[in-house]
Amino acid sequence: METNNAIDILVIDDEKDIRDGCERILQHMGCKVFIAESGKAGLEILEQNKISIVLCDIKMPGMDGLEVLTRIRKTHESVLVIMITGFSKVETAIEAMKKGAYDFLSKPFTPDQLRINVTRAIEKIRLTRQAECLKLEQQRNLADLETEQSRIRTILETLPNGLLVTNLSGQVVLMNPLSKTYLGLSQDLCVGKKIEHYIADKGLCDYIMGVSRCSLTDGKPLENYEFSLSEERYVLARARPIEGEDGECMGAVVTLSDISAIKVFDRLKTEFVAKVSHELRSPLSVIHEQLAMVLKANDLDTSDASQYILGRAKEKTKSLITMIADLLDISKIETGNKGQVQVKIHLDDMIGKIVEFLAGKAKDKQQTIRFNIAAEKISPVVADPIALESVFGNLIENAIKYTPEKGTILVSVDTKDTDIRVIVKDNGFGMEQRHLDKIFEKFYRIKDDDTRFINGTGLGLPIAKAFVDALNGKIFVKSEVGKGSEFTVLLPADKD
């Protein structure tokens, strides 16, 4: 086997400067370097020497780099090929990777970039050779199992992520030091006990147990699990089942990644939005009130054009104030504050008051708005009243806005199975089916001939869905262009 200082590398490139530069840098790294100015010459050198890594230019006269790569893969499967080119495109990179290239290096590249790519390839070769040695050693002498485990442990300890492995019954059979650090455990803690002994988060334990027994798969992609160890440390767990040769479930392998930096960034982003929104709301409110006062002044000598301009300015400031309020709601939701005051709420009473409050807007458009309550007694729900008022106020106000004059809005409350069901139905403009999966996305608004003059932020429905999701509820929509829309909200009834 080659020593660490005897890695043989072949550089194939039609540019002499590239060949000479690569040779000089790689020799300083302790590698033995062969050079070739064409694909044909490179393949001849490869046949005569034990090359471990090939750096091959894609664009060369005669035989190009992709053809060289194809021939190398057929006859020298263990050789790692790094493609280099001055015509880097995503399509070219994908094609090269599909043909078996190990890595991709774009011209012009710096000496450091070359060293990083080659060092990574050398490390892969070394790890591959170590794995091969371990396999041969195991076959030759099963009694040397302790040595093999020591080497595996060394590899596991150098992994950049936490790693733990469980068996079918949920016992932890392997845990690297980084996983113990992420879970706040002592490095001296031994494995062999149930997962609950090591992890206090019940949700995470259930998640790992479900994967260990293959009860969470059902042919669907497995979701990840995010948990917090403290206000400053967040960890993402990814669990995947371990299956035997016959497909039987044998346990789970779980990787743990520190996502604290991502969380800090999200928090800073949310705090920035909240701060900017707070700073803008007060001056905009003052401007809005000032414009209202000017428009109401009876003795002001203004033309119709001035009145129109002032009126439009007042509408726009009102839209901005509404958007700021929505942004603040979004900020609260993204920081986990989705309604902290939890009380029992009778939805029939609350929604009746919302309908009564918004009846004036419907009357201005000569609309009919009706509120129907089921004959049976409606159970209360436990939620934040402000959050629920935001949800149903938004849905009913949208129905009024997106229904033309003399239209009809029907609001109903009843019981469906163990849930309280609220339906807001209108015979307004309606929506095409392609919009229905997107209307709950932030800032998504439908612009067509019917709705282009309707002001909105595109945040109302995302906020409503976030609040409903936080209550373990569901929200659905059905719509047809020209016939109207129907929003249904299901909320779990209070069982006490």
Same domain, 436 and 453: yes
For the segment 264-274, what is each residue's pLDDT rounded down to a tens digit? 776 666 666 66
CA dihedral (265, 266, 270, 273) in degrees, to 10, reads 60
| The domain boundary residue, chosen from 216, 232, 258 | 258
Residue 461 has pLDDT above 60, yes or no: yes
Task: Give the separation between CA 182 and CA 199, rounded to whole angstroms.
Answer: 10
- The pLDDT score that the predictor gives to residue 279 is 65
Of 74-78, 223-227, 295-299, 320-324, the one with minimum mean pLDDT is: 295-299
Same domain, 322 and 463: no
Same domain, 247 and 268: no
Residue 43 has pLDDT above 90, yes or no: yes
Residue 33 covered by a domain: yes
- The pLDDT score that the predictor gives to residue 2 is 44
Task: Give the separation between CA 414 and CA 421, rounded to whole angstroms.
Answer: 5
Specify the CATH number for the domain of residue 407. Answer: 3.30.565.10
Specify the CATH number for the domain of residue 94. Answer: 3.40.50.2300
Same domain, 295 and 400: no
- Average pLDDT of span 379-407: 87
Same domain, 129 and 33: yes
Same domain, 327 and 268: yes
Specify the CATH number for the domain of residue 268. Answer: 1.10.287
Helical H segments across 335-445, by residue range: 347-364, 385-401
For the segment 78-105, what is each residue's pLDDT rounded down to a tens digit? 899 998 877 656 677 778 888 888 888 8
Residue 148 covered by a domain: no
Residue 65 covered by a domain: yes
- Average pLDDT of span 199-227: 76
Same domain, 247 and 267: no
Residue 2 covered by a domain: no
Same domain, 310 and 375: no
Most trustworthy range by pLDDT among 324-338, 346-360, 373-387? 346-360
Q: How many domains does the chain have?
A: 4
Residue 143 covered by a domain: no
Residue 150 covered by a domain: no
Pairing of strands 474-480, 484-492: antiparallel
Residue 144 covered by a domain: no
Sheet of strand 368-373, all strands in order from the earlier edge strand to the far edge: 368-373, 408-416, 419-426, 484-492, 474-480
The average confidence (pLDDT) of the chain is 80
- The pLDDT score that the predictor gives to residue 161 is 84
- The pLDDT score that the predictor gives to residue 177 is 85
Residue 375 has pLDDT above 90, yes or no: no
Judged by DSSP in three states, 74 sits in helix
* Residue with more model confidence, 474 or 270: 474
The pLDDT > 90 percentage for the chain reads: 18
Same domain, 127 and 93: yes
pLDDT band at 3 (very low <50, low <70, confident <90, very high): very low
Residue 45 has pLDDT above 60, yes or no: yes
Pairing of strands 234-243, 419-426: unpaired
| The domain boundary residue, chosen from 195, 224, 258 | 258
Same domain, 221 and 124: no
Specify the CATH number for the domain of residue 212. Answer: 3.30.450.20
- The pLDDT score that the predictor gives to residue 1 is 38
Same domain, 355 and 478: yes
Residue 457 has pLDDT above 90, yes or no: no
* Residue with more model confidence, 321 or 465: 465
Same domain, 252 and 383: no
In this prediction the pTM is 0.42
| The domain boundary residue, chosen from 278, 299, 334 | 334
Counting beta carbons within 10 angstroms of the beta carbon of residue 229, is it exposed (0 to 12), middle (13 to 18) or buried (19 or more)? middle
Domain with 327 in it: 262-334
Residue 151 covered by a domain: no
- The pLDDT score that the predictor gives to residue 179 is 84
